[in-house]
Chains A and B, each alone.
Chain A
Amino acid sequence: MFEMTALLRQRFAALRSGAEFFSLRYVQQSQQQLSVRKNVAEPPFFFRDEGAMLTVRLKGVEAYAATADLSQAGLQRALEQAERLAAQIGARALLDLSEQPVATEHSDYRSPNLEQPLPSLADCYDLLARESNSVPADSRLVNWQASLGISNVEQIYLNTAGAELRQAQRFIYPGFAVTAFDGQDSQSRTLGRENFGQQGGLDVIERCGLVGAGVKVADQALQLLLAPNTPSGVRDLLLMPDQMMLQIHESIGHPLEMDRILGDERNYAGTSFVKASDFGTLQYGSKLLNVTFDPTIGEELASYSHDDDGSTASKQFLIRDGLLLRPLGGALSQFRSGLDGVANSRACGWNRAPIDRMANLNIEPGDQSLEQLIGNIEHGILMRTNRSWSIDDARNKFQFGCEWGQLIENGELKGVVKNPNYRGISAQFWGNLSAVGDASTLQVLGTPNCGKGEPNQVVRVGHASPACVFSQIDVFGGDA
């Protein structure tokens, strides 16, 4: 672990520059992706990547150069490229960063259970094959796949102010998916995949529930195929954590990203219905809404000690009792806006520069069990597992769809319905939050697929949430 440290220290110290400040961020990644589809092992895919980004600050103007050439000459060349670019930009720069503070700390961070060995390749395939083979014979089951992704990432950050920040993380992504088809309609049911990923070791596979998934997920896909469409109308909506994560992500996370509010993302990811002046004054949701940026939950995907600009990460309330308090803004956004933010300046790898991203964005648990949540709904619907997401560029008008729906009548769960969709407007939706599940309903989830930025970046984000109830929401089904 951190085997490159000594070499990088030595090479960083030998770099020569006329800039007032520069940093090096080295990232090494390795991945393996395994899957068994319809009882046939697919070829394994392995990935190895390493490189570094050199960032310079020259007369208050920052620029970067990213290279996979880690030799002394290669790093020096990249540094000089960045310097040249900073000089070319000069007066055309949007920002004068002469006075922006820089990181100075030393720290090491490791994922929980990082030292724990994982099963061998053959054992991983055995696990996936067992689950695949457990899918019952039924001509309506036309496709199924068990998968396991493992990713290791090491990062070393050095700068001329003396900071040395090292992070070693391991991410696990188990998954299972089944598609059922009746000659006209098809329905898919999944476990894990894009909706579940955690840091850790074997414990992650256990928590995901991959063992035993084959029979269960196949049965649910067949139930969906037989189910009626979700009826259209206004109902109370009980969202389980694997849909809450998407709801949080799209309609709290993205609108609170400070770089969007400052306009950087208006050409691509979009802007925000939230204004800089809203922090401290806007009632974002009902008084039951408590939202935290929390990098301290070890297994959550985006737990870390420092972000990629070297800011120290700590738990912060972004929304407390429904009141909007602070944005998702890293050190640069805080410098630009004058607002207190969080340590969320993140990059997807060595070849992309850090920008404001979500990390772990969670809803704090309330005080009701799942039974109580259901029991208090007279006319409603439970939805679980996101399958469709769409929201406007200001992150306000949304429409989301789930895999699984169950009607709720007079405090009791009723039949399964397919194609459950709902729509709403963020600025109003969170005001309809009428009940929050307790810790027994909370799940720590996350996705590796959050896209944003120019040039584009995909990063891991974590979302822990209890089940939540929203009153009077417009729900509807599909065409089939």
Chain B
Amino acid sequence: MAATPLQSFQSLVASLQEQGRAPEHFTLSYSAEHSQFIRFNHAKVRQAGEVQQASCVLKLVKDGRQAELQFTLGNDNDVDQQRLAEAIEQLRQTLPLLEADPYLQLNDSAWQSHNVQDQALPGIDQVLMQIEQGAGELDLVGIYAAGPICRGFASSFGAFGWHQANSFNFDWSLFHRNGQAVKANYAGQHWDNDAFALRLRQAREQLEYLGRPLKTLAPGEYRAYLAPAAVDEIMGMLCWGGFSSQSLATKNSPLQRLYAGDARLNQQVSIAEQVSGSLSPAFSDEGTPRSDLRLIEQGQGLDRLICARSAVEFELAANGADSHESPCALSMAAGDLEQRDVLSRLGTGLYISNLWYLNFSDLPAARMTGLTRFATFWVEDGQIQAPVSTMRFDDSVYSLLGSQLEALTAERELILSTSTYGQRQTSSSHLPGALVKRLTLTL
């Protein structure tokens, strides 16, 4: 019988402990998945496959020097032990060639963490049948990704963490024959046919609005409601170095003026890194238990994400951030705008379901540009009038979530990452929608 991922990892850790030579220290992080990927176009299967992969990152430390090597595992104990031995050897040969690293800091605590969520996932036949029954006559396009994800960490100081979760994420769009589309998602750990049917029905209802004649807007300033998925795109840009202690110190953060106290966001804005209770592992990629952090409190910059290396360089206290210092479980506090009141409070303006392809037009000013995408509507007197053609915005976060923020919704949406670059991601965000008094459209 083949070893489980946990057994494979434990075997490698045991072998590493045996091969260790004092005063060497090591950390070993582990990542694995067995994923089904089914792509759809026109509600038919366009491309389908399975991917089974596992890899380790070995960090070897000696005499104040460190080096890392990531290697793919071959799902065979002999092969994997051989690769581990080769990795150790390469790093042992490398360390004497390096200068001592002044920013080296190792976590020497022997923390333990174990979290396994191994609910059964639906069979492919069941999923395919549900999608065919629910959307067979629609123009559905998207991807179903499912399977177990594992993360592990161990160190020569005795730390050991294991995280394993089975999950699925069906991310799809329904297209109207006029080219307009609505985006939807059904993700979690337990597939419920009724819940999926409800999501599909909600998307179908929005699709009917998209059949109305398209309204073309002129560039200018508009009231707008940004649904949680649209807010998530803005947050995604802020996560790109925004809260990173290194980016803040080296003036490459879009929130440098916020954290310097030179600018602030609206008092309604509070943002946390809320790892506890999220789907993310309780430990970082460098083997530190993660902390819940208050990143922005009532519009003011507070905690920043600090990895071990930054802690030494910038004389700060590490707080469990990943080495790239990006949030993995972003949580924005809710406001008091009830979802059922969104259209009436918006009055006349734009209802924006999603934004797309954001980037900075002036990073230090947190000014960003991007486009509407999927189900953007023109609303008059609280009534949806027409879908709106793709428009570009260019605005500062200090305006959108600062001076021009009118309200945040009382209900929040949990958005699980659909990213599959390299591997399926475990990050998430929990966000309200935002009503803004002025959004600047430029093209």
Contacts and interface: CB of A to CB of B under 8 A. Distances in A.
B72 A266 contact: no
B141 A121 contact: no
Nearest to A88: B124
B390 A394 contact: yes
Given A68-B54, A95-B46, A186-B252, A423 B367 contact: no
Given A40-B103, A181-B251, A479-B365, A458 B421 contact: yes
A185 B367 CA distance: 13
The 5 closest A-B pairs by CB, nearest first: A478-B362, A143-B250, A64-B49, A94-B44, A455-B420
Contacts of B124: 85, 88
A390 B369 contact: yes
A451 interface: yes
A82 B365 CA distance: 50
B76 A71 contact: yes
Interface string B50-91: 111111000100000111111111111001000100010011
A92 B44 contact: yes
Interface of A: 40-51, 53, 62-71, 74, 78, 81-82, 85-86, 88-89, 92-95, 120-122, 125, 142-143, 179, 181, 184-186, 188, 262-264, 266-268, 270-271, 351-353, 355, 388-394, 396-397, 399, 401, 419, 421, 423, 425, 451, 454-458, 477-480
Given A179-B250, A456-B420, A47 B44 contact: no
Contacts of A85: 36, 48-50, 124
Given A266-B173, A391-B357, A392-B357, A92 B45 contact: yes
A454 B90 CA distance: 35
B390 A397 contact: yes
Given A49-B72, A392-B356, A397-B392, 13 more contacts: A45-B69, A47-B71, A53-B49, A88-B124, A94-B42, A120-B97, A267-B141, A353-B49, A393-B356, A393-B371, A455-B37, A456-B421, A480-B362
Contacts of B362: 419, 477-480
A390 B53 contact: no
11 contacts: A44-B98, A49-B70, A66-B50, A67-B53, A68-B54, A142-B250, A267-B143, A355-B47, A391-B357, A397-B392, A419-B361
Could you tell me the dominant secondary structure of chain B's interface residues?
strand
A53 to B, nearest CB: 8
B360 A401 contact: yes
Could you tell me the dominant secondary structure of chain A's interface residues?
mixed
- Interface bracket on B: 35 or more
Contacts of A268: 143, 171
Contacts of B256: 186
A355 B67 CA distance: 35
A55 B357 CA distance: 33
A181 B51 CA distance: 46
Nearest to B442: A423
Contacts of B99: 41, 125
Nearest to B44: A94
Contacts of A392: 356-357, 371, 373, 390, 392
